[in-house]
Structure 1
Amino acid sequence: MSPAADKTIYLIRHARASGQEPQAELTAEGAVQAERLAELLAGRGIERIVSSPYLRALDTIAPFAAAAGLPVEEDARLAERVLSAAPLPDWEERLRASFLDPELRLDGGESGREALERGQAAIAELERSVGAGKAAAAVSHGNLLALLVGAFDPAFGYDGWRAMRNPDVFELAIGEGGARIRPIRDGK
């Protein structure tokens, strides 16, 4: 946790998974990543965990939750953004366009703004529930997390999304002077 932060929220992207569907499991590599994530999060004062209901998100945080003796609360607002109801051969071009135009909504999907607003509502509720000097963890997915990180760092955008890892962790430090976000990588 950042020393000047009153509260800290760790925004976590799930570990490597076998697919994109809600019931996609972690790969063998993803299971190892989840164990390493537990080590990374240990000792950071986390007192509450919320997660996307997608299996890969739940399985990513399970080793840490077990080690910390904390329950994992599911929150559908942390589920991945649905870009389109139908498979798109040019999905990445469409995703890039959606970072440039947050109102862009494809058939059966949600706009970046809609996804961001539901994600922000979940994080705001989590932040209100955490005591001073404490932390919480929120486990989600790449597109939604990129939108959330971008709300604090507008330069993040599509290129930030492309550079994200599985898993990835961002420390959102909230204090009297506002909020700051930074990646936590390699234990730092």
Structure 2
Amino acid sequence: MEKVIYLVNHGESEGFAAQDSLTAEGILHAYQLAQFLERYPIEHIISSPLMRARQTAIEIADKLGIHAEEDSRLAERQLNSQVFDDWLLKVEDTFLDLNRSYEDGETSNDAMQRACDLIYELPDNSHTVLVTHSLLLILIMRCFNERIGFEEWQAIKHPDVYEMRVTEAGTIVTHLCEHE
């Protein structure tokens, strides 16, 4: 049993709201990601429902000739409903305490659970692209390796791609590419 998952962080976007689109540079990123992923035996593409991720997934799907599905479990982790001046410290705190949440926010554990439930549902011996957002992408990897956390999140780029091979013997995560 092996599942190969390509975790894709969307390209550069206009902002962080659900309806925010990719910038012109982000659209180019999505095109470049599609060209890069063309060399892999991808069978499925599943995207966050947020606009910037959907746009990235559609570009990849069009290039590969595969239909892109949406799944709300890939939406970015909701830290809170307000803007914090010290939001970076708040994010770090949620990696130190996976059960910490802020007003109207989601714990890291809750976000990990919903995203990893999706991964467990993927068919054995499949190759799937999951297009999501930086915080959730890192939390997905953390489901399989508890050493992954805040520092890795700070290093992620827009766009970025990681390959995650999930087997009965364990999980191997490989950083494939990032936009420079």
- Bin for the TM-score computed over the shorter chain: over 0.9
Look up the match of 1:28.
24
The amino acid that maps onto 1:60 is T
The amino acid that maps onto 2:165 is A
Give the secondary-structure state (helix, strand or coil) at the position aligned to 2:12: coil
Deviation (angstroms), 1:10: 0.5
Deviation (angstroms), 1:176: 4.1
Look up the match of 2:159.
167
Cα distance in 1, alignment partners of residues 95 and 114 from structure 2: 16
> 19, 39, 42: which one pairs with 1:43?
39
Cα distance in 1, alignment partners of residues 80 and 23 from structure 2: 25
- Is the aligned partner of 1:156 residue 2:148? yes
- Is the aligned partner of 1:107 residue 2:107? no
Cα distance in 1, alignment partners of residues 156 and 178 from structure 2: 14
Matches within 5 A, 1:173-188: 173-185=165-177
Cα distance in 1, alignment partners of residues 168 and 95 from structure 2: 30
> 75, 80, 86: which one pairs with 2:76?
80
Task: Quote the sequence identity (%).
Answer: 35
The 4+ residue runs of structure 1 with deviation greater than 4 A are none
| Superimposed CA distance per residue, residues 103-131 of structure 1 (whole angstroms, 9 cap, x where no aligned partner) | 00101000000011011011221x22x5x
Cα distance in 1, alignment partners of residues 149 and 81 from structure 2: 23
1:82·1:109 contact (CA, 8 Å) conserved in 2?
A: yes
- Is the aligned partner of 1:117 residue 2:113? yes
Structure 2 length normalisation: TM-score? Answer: 0.94
Name stretches of at least 5 consecutive residues in structure 1 with no aligned partner. Answer: none
The amino acid that maps onto 1:32 is L
The amino acid that maps onto 2:86 is D
Give the secondary-structure state (helix, strand or coil) at the position aligned to 2:92: helix
Give the secondary-structure state (helix, strand or coil) at the position aligned to 1:146: helix
Q: Alpha carbon RMSD of aligned pairs, Å?
A: 1.6
> 139, 144, 149: which one pairs with 2:136?
144
Give the secondary-structure state (helix, strand or coil) at the position aligned to 1:184: strand
Deviation (angstroms), 1:136: 0.7
| Superimposed CA distance per residue, residues 39-60 of structure 1 (whole angstroms, 9 cap, x where no aligned partner) | 1110211111110000100111
Look up the match of 1:96.
92
Deviation (angstroms), 1:174: 2.2
1:51·1:78 contact (CA, 8 Å) conserved in 2?
A: yes
Cα distance in 2, alignment partners of residues 176 and 121 from structure 1: 16
Name stretches of at least 5 consecutive residues in structure 2 with no aligned partner. Answer: none
Deviation (angstroms), 1:186: 6.1
